[in-house]
Structures are given as structure tokens and as C-alpha cells.
Amino acid sequence: MVRLYTDDLSIGYGDRLIVKGLSISIPDKKITTIIGANGCGKSTLLKTMTRIISQQSGAVLLDGENIAKQNTKDLASKMAILPQTPESVSGLTVGELVSYGRFPYQKGLGRLTKEDYDVIEWALDVTGTTEFKYRSVDALSGGQRQRVWIAMALAQETEIIFLDEPTTYLDLAHQLEVLSLLQKLNKEQERTIIMVLHDLNQAARFADYIIALKDGEIVKAGNCEDVITADVLEKVFAIDAHIGIDPRTNKPMCVTYDLLEGANK
Amino acid sequence: MTKEKQQSIPFVIKFIVGIIVLICIFTVAMVFGAANTSVREVWLAITSDSASDTITMIREIRLPREVGAIFVGAALSVAGAIMQGMTRNPLADPGLLGLTAGANAALAITFALLPSINYFGIMIACFIGAAIGAVLVFGIGMLKRGGFSPLRMVLTGTAVSAFLYAIADGVSLYFKISKNVSMWTAGGLVGTAWSQLQLITPIIIVGLIVALLLSRQLTLLSLSEEVAVGLGQNTMRVKIILFFIIIILVGTSVALVGNMAFIGLMVPHIVRAIVGTDYRLVIPMSAITGASFMLLADTVGRTINAPYETPIAAIIAVLGLPFFLIIVRRGGKVFS
């Protein structure tokens, strides 16, 4: 089943198109990962699908309706976004920041209801950030901060969550922690997750569906066995990849790679 | 485990302390001046209709002047807070980003072309001028895609301000109205009359109330524009309304006191150190702190070299410039 898809979507400034006539479908209740080289348009695509920037032509449709024509506040109760490394926020406590996730449900000056508090507690709990509740967001480490931002997105109680490179600047353990949390949310609560990832092996390990982009166009979309292949990686990243099997997860992984002969023109 | 506790002093207490400080400073401002008066005379001037020379002086000269200081201080500080939140630029200030200079130029042009204009007309001219100043600075900023570092914005503001001041000076000289214009722009609170306040205070009050109603939206915007969109904020609409509030607050202030930089820069920084970054708290606290600050600066201006006036803009600038340098040096935070 598909609730969210793009129809002939083109994004860009003036004559320079970053994404060209893209039609992709996001499988419902699955983890979808977008991969591609720097500048291939993956972040731009994510921002357009979440109405942060507007497209030149085409449409993003959710439940059959063009998101550009929907009330932005209503939309915020259907999909949440975690932008790439949000700017640091000084002075707010973790509890306060997460409580902003309730914004789509509030009116006026925004008093929190009992239900809001319950959701905030749950979001803190599930991301393991309850212990930081009264601490300033600045005072946290990168991994803790990322979990707090995820908690805020969760407090939005949306079925669809977008994340733009949620593991950037995190060390190995924290990367895995964040991705495992997302996997748990997907499995236990059937949230649809769409994220941009840099690390191919993480994409292969956690994604049910991978979309590989190059120059704003799809090279290949499918499950990890279809996408993480030497052939696709050659086209997408201009690398000569050696694909093996992860002995623990049995998923394909890029064991080693070289630059393609003559790729560095 | 003290860190795990919620903020120790509730906002209400901080706000009440702020109000008490404001009342104390107001009393001091009313009592001290070129002609020293007593608290009793001040009290009589406000509450009774007795009419000795001193009491009439207090009622007709000093009281409107200090009421003006309260509202202008509040207006400029809140305008500064909104600008800093909206642009996520710790150096934003109506005086530094071209708004004051724009209003100033509009004032000069209006005097030149419509010498007999009334006070309402002057105020409207100031609104338009402030808007033009702001649009120029932000417009130039937008020419470069991907934005605008805080310092670049201030540089643009400085350049645009210099240009607009040059227009004001040129127009003043050409039409031989320099004296008239500088009476306005450098006059500070001198000669503030009740008739002006009647027009200006309701507008400032409305501006402050709308600012307060939008304060939650402003906090969201101050986090990150993308986060604000993701949480369902109509950022365009919010920004346009906030822009108009800034114009109104700054325009009325310039119409009353002329040029005044730095107060909108300093007060929000001081306030954030006390109440944090939630603009629901920053806005009201900036209003009362700005009022106190302006009263204090005006009282210093009136008494430091009495019976001569020391321009209030100069006093604030003496404090403001070091403050500005500290913000630049610490990368946006004065207190940490």
C-alpha cells in the first residue's frame, strides 16, 4: 500500500533542475532510505516532500491530495521532519524542546493538556532521554541531542517521519543507537520512516526499501538486494564496489571499494 | 542533582521583580532632574490637580517625557527581541539594521516636501521609512543565496544606514531644514508632549500585545525555519505579521525620540540571560526591562551635566558599543 508518492516532481532554481521529473512511491509502514552522491538532490527531495521548499513542477501527494494545497498545520499532524543537524538551541531545556512537538495540536499561547504531557513523557521515554528532561539542550552530547530531536518529532504523533541524515556527526555506537530506535518505532508502532543516509551499509541493514539517486533521477529503487549491487553503486557513486554479505544480518554490504578507472576527470 | 530540578525561580516572580524595579526607576526619574523635586511633589503632580510651578513642571514636562521613555524603551527592546528571534541573528537591532535610518530619511523628506504636516503624518512617514530601510537591508541580504551571516547583515545595515543618513542630510541641507530635522532626530525625549503620547502609546500597546500573542510562533521560528515548517507553522504569514509589528514599534519610536541604536540589541540579551529563550517570557520581560533601561538612560542624560542635556542616544551608545563587541567576540552570547 502507498499513501505517499511524488508525481513527475521537478525541483530547482531557474533553469538549473536539481530533481528532474521524479515519480517515486514510499511504501507504507516501512523504512525507506534515499542514497546518492553529494549534490544528487536527495536532501532537496526530502525537503520538497515535507513542503520546506516548493517544487517547480509536479506534485507530492499524501492520501491522494497534493500537500502544497493542504493546511500546513493539519499536515504537521500527519508527517514530522527532523532536518539535517538542526541549529543548536540555547536556553531551552529538553522537556521544553520536546513539548514543541505538540505545536500542531495547540491553539493560541499553547497551554499543554494532560494528553500532551502524556505524549511528551512517552516520547522522552522511548528515546531514552527522560533523565535529561530538565537539562539544557546545549549541555548534551551530539548523540543525546539527536535523540532529543527525534523525541520532538515523535511527540508530533505522526504516522510518517522524515529524517535528513540523522546519523551525521555521531560516533559509531550512537549511529547504531539512533537507527535501532527508528527500526523499533517502525516495527512496534508501524511508523513510516523516510530518511537520507550516507552510509551504504547502514542503509542496507535498516532499510526495507532503498532509492538510489543520481543527478536528480532514479538509478534504482527496490529492496537492498536489488540496490546494493556493484552495478548500481558504480552508476550512483562512480565506484568499483566489492559486495559481500554481512555475516550477522545476511544483508548485502559494501566490503571495500576503489575509485572507478577514469572516474576522476 | 540540582541540575535536574526545574528552573528555580518561577517567571512570575522574575516579572514582578522587573515591575518593581521599573517603578523604582520611574520614581527616581521623576524626582531627579535639572530641577530637583521631592517624591511628594511628584505624587501630587500625578494624583491631584494642584498647580504650583514645580508641580506643573513635573506634570507637563517631566511626566510625559518619562512616560515616553517607558513606551519607547519597551517598543525598541521588543522590536529588537523579535528581530533577533526571527533572523536568528544575535546582532539584530532596529538601529543597526537600517530601520531607524530609514525612518530618519523619511522624516527629512517629509519635512522638506510637506512642512506643515501634523504629527500623525510624521508617524506614518516613519513607518514607511522604517519599512524601506528594512526591505533594503534584507533585500540585499537575499541577493546572496543561502543567506546571510549575522555580521554580513550588520555590515549591510551599516552601509544602508549610511546611505539613508546621507539622503536625510542632503535633503535637510538642500531645503535648509537641518535644524528642524536634527531637533527631531537628535532631540531624544526632549519636548515630549501629552498630545504626541496620546497618539503613540495606543499604537505601541497594540504592537506589544500582538507581539505577545505571536511569541510562541516566534520561539518556534527562532529554533529553525525548517523545524517551524515541520511543526505546521505558516512561516510566511508569521514573518509578515512580525515584520509589521517591528515597523510599527520602530516607526512610532523614531517619531518620538529620533535615532536610537543599541537598546534593541542589549535588552533582549540581558533578558534571555534571566528568563531563557522562550519568547513567551522574553517579550514581556524585554518590554519592562527596556522601559527601565530607557528611563535610567534618560535620567542620567538629564542629570549628569545639568542643566544641559546629554543626548540619550549617546549614553546608550556608550554602553551599547562594548556590548556589541562582546556579542561578536562570544559568537552571539553575552552571558553564558
Domains annotated for chain A, with CATH where assigned, are 1-73+193-265 (3.40.50.300)
Residue written as grid cell 514645580: B54
Distance CA A236, CA A96 (A): 41
How far is B208 from B210, CA to CA, in rounded Å? 6
Looking at the complex, does the CB of residue A76 fall below 8 Å from at least one CB of chain B?
yes
Residue A171 has pLDDT above 60, yes or no: yes
When scoring B221, B227, B235, B279 by the number of chain A Cβ atoms within 10 A, the one with the most, hence best to mutate, is: B227
CB distance B232–A104 less than 8 Å?
A: yes
Q: How far is CA B48 from the centre of its chain?
A: 32
Query: pLDDT tens digits, residue range B199-209?
Result: 899 999 999 99
Q: Can you give the pLDDT at residue B1?
A: 33
The pLDDT value given to residue A118:
92
ipTM of the complex: 0.85
Q: Do B232 and A74 touch (CB under 8 A)?
A: yes
Contact residues, chain B, for A103 at CB < 8 Å: 220, 231-233
Higher pLDDT, A82 or B35: A82
**A75 interfacial to chain B (CB closer than 8 Å):** yes
Model confidence band, residue A192 (pLDDT cutoffs 50, 70, 90): very high
- Portion 279-298 of B in contact with A at CB < 8 A: 280
Which residues does chain A have within 8 Å of residue B232's beta carbon, measured at their own beta carbons?
Answer: 72-77, 103-104
Q: Where are the beta strands (DSSP E) in A192-238?
A: 192-196, 209-214, 217-222
CA dihedral B23, B28, B33, B39 (to 10 degrees): 100
- Is B226–A81 a contact, with Cβ atoms under 8 angstroms apart? yes
pTM of the model: 0.86
Model pLDDT for residues B217-246, shown as the tens digit of each residue = 898 888 888 888 889 888 888 988 998 999
- Which of the pair, A244 or B328, is modelled with greater confidence? A244
Pairwise CB contact (< 8 Å): B230 & A50: yes
A160 to chain B: nearest residue by CA?
B230
Interface with chain B: mutation pick from A43, A47, A90, A97, highest number of B CBs within 10 Å: A90
pLDDT over threshold 90, residue B73:
yes
Distance in Å, alpha carbon of B264 to nearest chain A alpha carbon: 20
Mean pLDDT for B143-158 is 73
In percent, the amount of chain A with pLDDT more than 70 equals 95
* DSSP result, B281-300: HHHHHHHHHHHHHHHHHHHH
**Distance (Å, rounded) from C-alpha A64 to C-alpha A67?**
9
Q: Which residues pair with B12 in a beta bridge?
A: none
Which among B132, B125, B82, B80 has a CA at the least distance from the CA of B102?
B132
Mean pLDDT computed over every residue of chain A: 87
CB-based contact B256:B109 (threshold 8 Å): no
What whole-number distance in Å separates Cα of residue A218 and Cα of residue A214? 6
Q: What is the pLDDT of residue B148?
A: 61
- Read out DSSP for B81-126? HHHHHHHT-TT--TTTTTHHHHHHHHHHHHHHH-TT--HHHHHHHH
CA angle at residue B108 from B105 to B109, to 5 degrees?
85
In the CATH hierarchy, which top-level class contains the domain B68-329?
A: mainly alpha
Higher pLDDT, B304 or A244: A244
